[in-house]
Chain A
C-alpha cells in the first residue's frame, strides 16, 4: 500500500480538502443548517433585543448606546414594578390552579367513562379556539354593562347592581386569571393524560393486591411516575402564562389603571404604542431572569430522576 501511495504524483492536501473529508468535521457540516437556523431566528433576535435595551432607540430610528439608563429608569418606575407584581401573581395563581384542575381532569379522563373519546376531544376545545376569539368572548362575559354573569345573578335576585369585572382593580385581575386558566387547563390535562397512560396497569394491580388505598396508589405510583411529565408540562405552562399577551391586550389593554399590565403587554405598550423601543426592550429583557428561574426550578426541583439523562428510573 505504501509503495502504491508513493508512486502517485504528489499533490498538496489543503486544509479545505481535509475539512471536506474529516469525519469529525462531517458532524459539523450536518449541524450547520440547524445552527444557522437557530442563530438567525433565535439567538440573533434575542441578542438584538438585549442590545436595544442598552440604547435609546425609537421606533423607526437607530439609537445610541446609553448603558443601563433604561434599566435605571425602570427601577424607579412604579408602573414597571406593578407589572412585575401582576405578572408574578398572574403566573403563580394561574399555573397552580391550571395544574390542580388539569391533573384532576386527567385522572378523571383516565377512568373508564362512557363517550370517553368525545369527552377528551371536548376538553381540548378551549385550547383549540384562537386566543383572540376566546379573549373577545371573555371580554363580553365580563362587560360592565352587558355581562351575562351579572345579568343572571340579577335575575336570580342575588345581586342588585352589575359586577364591575374589568373596572375594579382586583376584580379585573381575577377575571383575566380566570380566562387564562380556562384556556390553559386543556393543555395540562391532555398532556398529563398522555403521561398517565404510560403507567403500566400491572403496578396498580400489584398495589391493589397489597391492599393499597386509592390515595396510596396515587401517591406512590401515579405521582412519582408522572413527575417527569409534570416537570415538562409545568415548565411550558409557566412560560406561556408568564409571557401571555393576547388575553390581556384584548380584554383590558393593561387597565384599569395598569392593574392588569403584564410585563409583555407593558413592553409592547412602551415599545410599539409609545415608540420607546429601547425601554420596551429593557422590559422584555427583564423577563429573562424570571423565565430562567422558572425553568431551573422545574428542572432541578421537580425532576430529580435520572430519566432526564436517559438512564433507567431508580
Chain B
C-alpha cells in the first residue's frame, strides 16, 4: 500500500513539474514567434496584401510565394499576416475590455452582496448559458457588421465569463482575516478591493485571459467566416477561409495557410495558459 501511495505521489510531482514547464515553454516559443510575425506584418509584408495579379492566380506554394497565391493572384502569406493582425487586435480588445468590465462587475457584486449580487449574477448566468456565437450573431443583427461592431458584440459576449471568475475569486478573499484587519485599520472599500484583494486574483485573471484570447480568435474567425464580422477590404483569417473554401478542391493552400496560422496562434496561447495555470496551482 505504501508503494502505491509513493507511486501516485511521485507521478503527481512528475506531471506538475515536467508537464507544466513543457507546455509553458512550448507555448511561450510558439506565442513569441507568432507575435513577432504578426507585429512584423503591421509594418512589412512580402508583397502588398491587396495587390492583384492576373497572371499569378492559384500558384501553389513556392519560395517566391511561401503559402501560394489566391484567386486574385494575391500573395497568401502577406494576406495571412495582415489578416492575423486584424484578428489579433480584435481578440485583444475583446478580452481586455471584457476582463475590465467583468472584473468591475465581479468586484462590485461580490462586495455589495445581497439582492444586487443575486440579480446581476442571474442575468450573468443567463447570458453565459446562451451559445456564444449565437449571442454574437444576434448582437451583430442589431448593431450591423464591421470591425468595430464585432468588437462590441464580442465584448458583450465575453463579459459574463470574466465576471463569474472574478466574483468567485473576490469572494474567496473577501472574508479573510487580513482583509478584516485592513478594514479595522480604516481602509475604505475601494482601497480594500484594489490594493488588498485584486492582486491575489491576478493569476486567475491571467489564466482566463489566455482562454478568452483563444475563444475570441475562434469567435471572430467564425463570425467573419459567416460574413458577419470583418468586411472587405479588411483582411481577416476567417474571411480568407470562407473565400478559399470555394477553391478547396483545386487549390487547398488557399485555406491551409490561414487555417494553420490560426491554429498555431490558438495553440501557443492555449499551452501558455496551461503552463500559467499549472504553476499557479503549485502555489
* A is bound by B: no
